[in-house]
A and B are shown apart, each in its own frame.
Chain A
Amino acid sequence: MINIFKEFLNLFFKDLFQEKGSVRLGLYGSPNGGKTTLANKICKDWIGEEMGRTSKIAHETRQVQVKEQITIKRDTKELTFSLVDTPGIATKIDYEEFIKAGLPEAEAKTRAKEATKGVIDAIKWLDDMDCVIVVLDATKDPYTQVNITIIGNLDARKIPVLLVANKMDLKKADLKHVQSAFPQYDVIGISAKTGDGVEALYEKLFELRSKALKRKKEKR
C-alpha cells in the first residue's frame, strides 16, 4: 500500500515538474541569418546579458554556445529553457571569402578550419535538442538545400520546430516568400536587431515548449 502511494506521488510530481520542466531550445540556420543576434536579444531581455559576438563576416559563431535557465514570463505563465546557439550550417567553406571580407590570410584559414568543426558540432547537437527555432534570412531565397536539410532532419527526429524569418527591418525582406517555401510550418517575421516581432515569438515559444514536453513524454 505504501509502495502504491509512493508511486502515485512520484508520478504526480514527475508530471507536475515535467509540464513546468526546462527544455533545450536550439537556434539553427545558415551562416549570417541572425541566430546570435536573436540569442543576444532573448538573453538581454530575460537575463540582462548577451550571449555571443556578432559580425558581418560569416561564421562568427564557430562553437556551440549554451545559456542555461532562461525564464520567460508572460502574465501568469513561465517558461524556462536552455538556449543553444549553434554555428551556421553550410555545405562549403572557402577561406578566400574571408580574405575578401578583409581578414588576413592566416586568420582567414583559422576561421575556415574552426567553421568546418562548428558545422559538424551543430549537426551532432541536433539529437540533443527538445525544440528548435530555424532562423531564416528573410532577404534571401529561403528554399536552399541547407534550410531543407535542417528542417528535414528536425522532421525526421520529430523535434518541434518554429521558423523565424529574420531581418524584417530590411527593405528586401519578404515574409510571404518564406511562408510560401515552407507552407506546413509556422513562420514568424521578426527583426532580432530592432526587436520587432520578438514579443510574438515569445508567445509562440510556450506552444513550442508544450510540443517538446509532449514529445519527451512519448519518448519515455
Chain B
Amino acid sequence: MKGRTMLTLQFVPYAEIMRLPEKERIDRLLGLAKENKIVLLEGKLRAEEEAELIKRTMEQITSSFKGVEISHVSLQQKEDVVFFRKVRSLLVNLLLGERQGFTIIGPASVVKEIKRDPDKIQLLTEDIKRKK
C-alpha cells in the first residue's frame, strides 16, 4: 500500500441526522470528520447549525485535528421547472429542512481545499497537492 492513500467517503442521509437533537447532529458529523472520513451529507444544514458546527470544531482543535473544510453543493433546478414543483420543494424545505443538494465536510488534514464549479466539485487533498 506504499504511496497509496485510503480515503473514506461516508454518506449520511438527511433522515438519519434529522432525528437527532441539534447538538448530537453536529457531534455526529464532526465525529465522522475526526475519524478522517469525508462526510457526504444529503441536503444542507441551517445557517445557525453551520455556525454551531464551526464553534464546536474550534472547541475541539488540537495539534492532530486542525478543523474541517465544508462546502454545500446545490443541485439547481432548471428555469423551466414547472411552478408547482418549485413551490412544493420550498414547502418541503420549510417543513423538513433543506434536502436538496449535498454538503461535504472533510477533515482539514485530508481535504485542503474544496473548489466549486457549476458542474463539478473538486476536493484538493494533501497527496494530490504534493504531487503538483
Contacts and interface: CB of A to CB of B under 8 A. Distances in A.
Interface of A: 89-95, 109, 112, 116-117, 119-120, 123-124, 126, 143, 145-146, 148-149, 152-153, 155-156
Contacts of A116: 58-59, 61
A108 to B, nearest CB: 10
Interface in B45-100: 46-48, 50-51, 54-55, 57-59, 61, 63, 66-72
Interface in B94-132: 108, 114, 116
Which are the 6 A-B pairs with shortest beta-carbon distances?
A: A92-B67, A152-B47, A92-B108, A116-B58, A149-B50, A94-B66
Interface in B8-54: 46-48, 50-51, 54
Nearest to B116: A143
A110 to B, nearest CB: 12
Contacts of A89: 54
A95 B63 contact: yes
Contacts of B71: 145
A91 B52 CA distance: 11
Contact of A149 (B51, B58, B68, B69): B51
Given A116-B58, A116-B59, A120-B59, A94 B67 contact: yes
Nearest to B115: A141
Interface hub of A94, A95, A124, A145 (most chain B Cβ within 10 A): A145
Nearest to B67: A92
Contacts of A156: 46-48
A87 to B, nearest CB: 10
A153 B66 contact: no
Contacts of B67: 90-94
Contacts of B68: 91-92
Given A145-B71, A145-B72, A93 B51 contact: no
A5 B48 CA distance: 44
A93 B47 contact: no
Contacts of B69: 91-92, 145
B69 to A, nearest CB: 6
